A and B are shown apart, each in its own frame.
Chain A
Amino acid sequence: MENKLSKRLGDIVTALPLKDGMRILEIGCGPGAIAREIANRFDNIYVLAIDRSAKAIELAKKNSATETESGKLTFIQSKIEAFELPENEELFDIAFAVRVGALDGRHPGIEKASLTSISKALKKNGKLYIDGGDPLKEISLKNY
């Protein structure tokens, strides 16, 4: 299925410091457009994409059959504030989120729990990016 990404989302994918061989965690993936784009831009990359909405995950899986069958992309329904690394998953190089209220200051009640969950899922030098910058900004996980 052709993945049509808006210019804004395309710029976000381009701005992420992605490389072949990396493991990427997308938070709040919605119907999976960004995750699919990343999976298709690199030959050897892995994306775990999560969203709290069961409907979003259902749609993401339906639209990403090729990418998920290749093993480059997995979708899981999970709230980020309650996310734990699944047993069969290794730590990630990069985590990112676009328009996720748990991370952009709109919901401070779950922000700290979310940042803790992300910190535990990243490798020692792993980084977290969210939108709202130019076009991204890095969020420090120093205190988590």
Chain B
Amino acid sequence: MAAISTSNFRRLIGVWKTFGQISSENQVLELAGTDSYELILDGKFILHKADVTIGSEKSEIFEMISLDETTNKVKMQYFNSKGESGIMTGELTNNNFKIEGEGIKFSGMINSENSTIVGKWYLQTNNKSWKEFIDMKLEKQL
């Protein structure tokens, strides 16, 4: 039985320093914080915690990540400090990291040393096109 602990997602395990930029026409808003990924419940799940500040707004997220063996994708169920929750699907194929939720998606890369993740979040507009939202970089600390 495949386990998330032996899947490509094990490359996320650790503590990361997070940097981001939200750009709009003439202005840039900085995002900064910490993301951590740890195996829990006998290695059956990954617990992702994010603690980030966007401008002056602080946001915390807890996310449970579980592997779907048939598709090799993960279910990512998140809860945040605004009281919001939702489910996204993640895929980590070779070094390509993709996440997709309702009206939002992430596309990025993890390097072969598993020390850096770089990518972008996109929002889906009412016209169904995708609009760039946040540029992200995560650097492994531990």
Contact = CB atoms under 8 A, between A and B. Distances in A.
Interface string A123-140: 000000000000000000
A83 B103 CA distance: 12
A83 B124 CA distance: 9
B31 interface: yes
Contact of B54 (A77, A108, A119): A108
Interface in A53-91: 76-79, 81-84, 86-87
Interface in A11-61: 50
B21 to A, nearest CB: 11
Contacts of A78: 125-126
A115 to B, nearest CB: 7
Contact of B127 (A86, A112, A144): A86
A116 B25 contact: yes
B57 A108 contact: yes
B26 to A, nearest CB: 5
Contact of B22 (A83, A86, A113, A143): A113
Given A108-B29, A108-B56, A82 B24 contact: no
A50 B56 contact: no
B126 A109 contact: no
Given A108-B29, A108-B56, A108-B57, A82 B22 contact: no
Majority secondary structure, A binding face = mixed
Q: How many B residues are at the interface, by size bracket?
A: 20 to 34
Nearest to B56: A108
Majority DSSP secondary structure for residues of B touching A: strand
A111 to B, nearest CB: 8
A119 B27 CA distance: 14
Given A82-B131, A84-B129, A86-B127, A112 B27 contact: yes
A86 B126 contact: yes
Contacts of A119: 25
A144 B126 contact: no
Contacts of B129: 84
Contacts of B55: 108-109
Contacts of B127: 84, 86-87
A49 to B, nearest CB: 12
B123 interface: yes
B78 interface: no
Interface of A: 50, 76-79, 81-84, 86-87, 106-109, 112-113, 115-116, 119, 143-144
